[in-house]
Amino acid sequence: RRRRRRRRWWWLGLGLGRRRGWLLVQCVLPVAGVRERERAGHIRRQRGVGLPANIVVQLSKLSGLKRYKISEILLFNRRRTEDSFFEMVSLRPGGVYTKAQLQKELETLASCGMFERVDLESKTKPDGTLAVTVSFLESTWQGADSFRCINVGLMPQSKQMEMDPDMTDKEKLEYFRNQERDYRRRIERSRPCLLPVTVQREVMQMLREQGRVTARLLQRIRDRVQKWYHDEGYACAQVVNFGNLNTREVVCEVVEGDITQLAIQFQDKLGNVCEGNTKLGVIRRELPKQVIFV
């Protein structure tokens, strides 16, 4: 049976001078072939991978000139199969990324300190998108029997020197000693944090129940500490680092949100500025001294 070709009708109006009439002209255009070519071009645009479906592609094999749409993101922990670090990955299903962006994501995960090893591979899907699998090995440390929280606000971030892989055993020992000495000095220059003893006891209980210190446990400690600060109104407080992980003590570094400029105003019930009866010295006396630097 012969396929009937669709026809598209175009009407062209032509003015006829003083009579102001219109001449209707039928233009018959075969559009079936055009639509097929448009559909084929659309499919080619969707298939940004340019490879057959169900093919595992290493990150190094992706083209640096293309953009790839990610339809699925899977995380695989070589030690566990549940409770993966989804919040650590910034890639999102439905997003479009270049090879450089995927490589940057891998480097960020590898350098965050939470993983001993991270790999990223992709698999082509029939619709032309990629399913990305991030496999990792969670970092672990020896068990800890003490916990300390310090306020490192207004202090420069500690920069850890990279260890040369060609170091001798004696040089490595000296390297770790220098690290421990520098970190002890950092702790001495820090200020005590506002975290109450009750929350610190909760953290110690978490450490005792876990046994070994893991990256997942550090995430739980971070969430518990930050929750207390945010519940108490310290919206800018943030856990920025964990130190002394190679010892029996876990040090939680917190930036509590130091106040460097303070202006006091009195307002009435309508929010208008007015004169107050309370002395400014009384108000300043009630402010937390740990975060006020004016």
pLDDT given at position 16: 41
Instruction: Read off the pTM.
Output: 0.61
* Per-residue pLDDT reduced to its tens digit, 113-149: 788 888 888 888 888 889 988 888 888 888 888 999 9
Q: Buried b / exposed e across 180-216, counting CB within 10 Å, b at 16+?
A: eeebeebeeebbebbbeeebbebbeeebeeeeebbbb
Residue where one domain finishes, among candidates 138, 161, 181:
138
Does residue 182 share a domain with residue 120? no
Does residue 162 share a domain with residue 96? no
- Contact status, residue 211 vs residue 143, Cβ threshold 8 Å: yes
Q: Is residue 271 part of a domain?
A: no
Q: How many domains does the chain have?
A: 3
Q: Is residue 286 part of a domain?
A: no
CA 134 to chain centre: 14
Helical axes 197-210 vs 215-231, angle rounded to 10°: 160
Task: Quickly state the pLDDT bin for 199 (edges 50, 70, 90).
Answer: very high
Does residue 101 share a domain with residue 35? no
* Per-residue pLDDT reduced to its tens digit, 170-188: 887 888 788 888 888 888 8
Does residue 122 share a domain with residue 152? no
Q: Which of 135, 122, 140, 119 is nearest to 77 (CA)?
A: 135
Does residue 166 share a domain with residue 111? no
Does residue 108 share a domain with residue 127? yes
Does residue 213 share a domain with residue 146? yes
Residue where one domain finishes, among candidates 109, 138, 167:
138
Q: Name the amino acid, one letter, at 170.
A: K
Q: Is residue 244 part of a domain?
A: yes
Query: Whole-number mean pLDDT of the chain?
Result: 78
Q: What is the mean pLDDT of residues 9-33?
A: 41
Reply yes or no on whether the pLDDT at 45 is more than 50. Answer: no
Task: Quickly state the pLDDT bin for 2 (edges 50, 70, 90).
Answer: low
Of 13-27, 119-133, 204-218, the least confident: 13-27
Q: Is residue 264 part of a domain?
A: no
CA 165 to chain centre: 29
At 147, list the tokens: 């916990």
* Per-residue pLDDT reduced to its tens digit, 262-293: 888 999 988 899 988 898 888 888 877 766 66
**Range(s) of the domain holding residue 240:** 141-255
Q: Is residue 19 part of a domain?
A: yes
Does residue 166 share a domain with residue 207? yes
